[in-house]
Amino acid sequence: MSGDCIVGSFEGAHGVKICTYRWNVKGDPKGVIFLHHGLHVHTSFDVLELGDQYRNRYSGSLVEDFNRIGLVVCGHDVRGHGRSAGKRAVVTFAEAFEDAETFIDSVVNEDAILSRLPVFLFGVSMGGMMCAELGVRRPGKYKGIVLISAALEANKGIHPPGAEFLKMIAEPLVFLFPTLPLVTIPPNKAAGLREQFLADPLTWHGKCVAKTSYEFIKAFDSLNIEQLEPPLLMMYGGKDHAVGLEQPREVFNLIQSEDKELVILDEVWHDPLHEPGFEAVRKQILGWLSDRL
């Protein structure tokens, strides 16, 4: 990993070691942005560029772009993902939210400069759902939130086919077989991206396990998305195979924020940050953030 990345760690909920990353700006910072990655991947996979073999290159990346507009960039690998400890690909969101808030507080509250600057959240897929929950939990804390292909549902208690059956048997199933492979995640159909995912030794290549699948259902049901108030930019691919478009549009209409924007990228699947046309996507994200610094 390059770009003068500072790799660290902290003790998360129940003593689990969480790996962190920080890219500082040259000169005086204007704000700080916290990254939250998607399911089965890790921080660098979502925001860095392809190096010799893996997405670990800072040059030309979104992180470099964030630094260029004055944002200190911080991220962590969710427990069970990337370089963080924990059972592989197993997520308990109560713990994941606690880890995220612990990290944000440690960075902002312990830095005299950053504590006076605007704080932004940036989330991809699962990380988008996490950012939404964090924003609801702490009204007034964040200057803006960017959600990319966020995993969100508008209708509590209404889930994809098979989910209701899972809810019925969830507790005994999750207790007895928490790592049972259960849900196949559709592959990204954009050229070369599936190969990058499979080549990365830090990504999870199996199905979504029972525990994590059930945690998503619980998280969808408990998230009071209508209470989200910070300025919000939501971006989705028009061909998104993982979250679709019906739910994002309904979610967007529910959100209370008076400063919100929904962007549908017609020819994009689930990874707007790396699929063809990513330059325009990044330009729009950077412009939106710059306007709020």
The answer to whether 127 and 46 have CB atoms below 8 angstroms apart is yes
The answer to whether 138 and 227 have CB atoms below 8 angstroms apart is no
Taking the CA atoms of 136, 273, 118 and 91 in sequence, report the sign of the dihedral they define. positive
Per-residue pLDDT tens digits for 264-279: 999 999 999 999 999 9
**Phi, psi dihedrals of residue 43, rounded to the nearest 5°:** -55, -55
The helix-helix angle for 210-222 and 163-176 (nearest 10°) equals 130
Question: What one-character DSSP code corresponds to residue 256?
Answer: -
- Angle in degrees, CA 10, 221, 19, rounded to 5: 15
Distance CA(212)–CA(216), nearest Å, equals 6
Per-residue pLDDT tens digits for 191-236: 889 999 999 999 999 999 989 988 998 898 899 999 999 999 999 9
The CATH code of domain 6-290 reads: 3.40.50.1820
Distance CA(134)–CA(261), nearest Å, equals 19
The answer to whether 207 and 179 have CB atoms below 8 angstroms apart is no
Per-residue pLDDT tens digits for 118-153: 999 999 999 999 999 999 999 999 999 999 999 997
Distance, C-alpha 185 to centroid of its chain: 16
Distance CA(100)–CA(81), nearest Å, equals 14
pTM here is 0.94
Domain boundaries, the chain: 6-290
Give the CA count within 13 Å in the CB-facing half-sphere of 109. 7
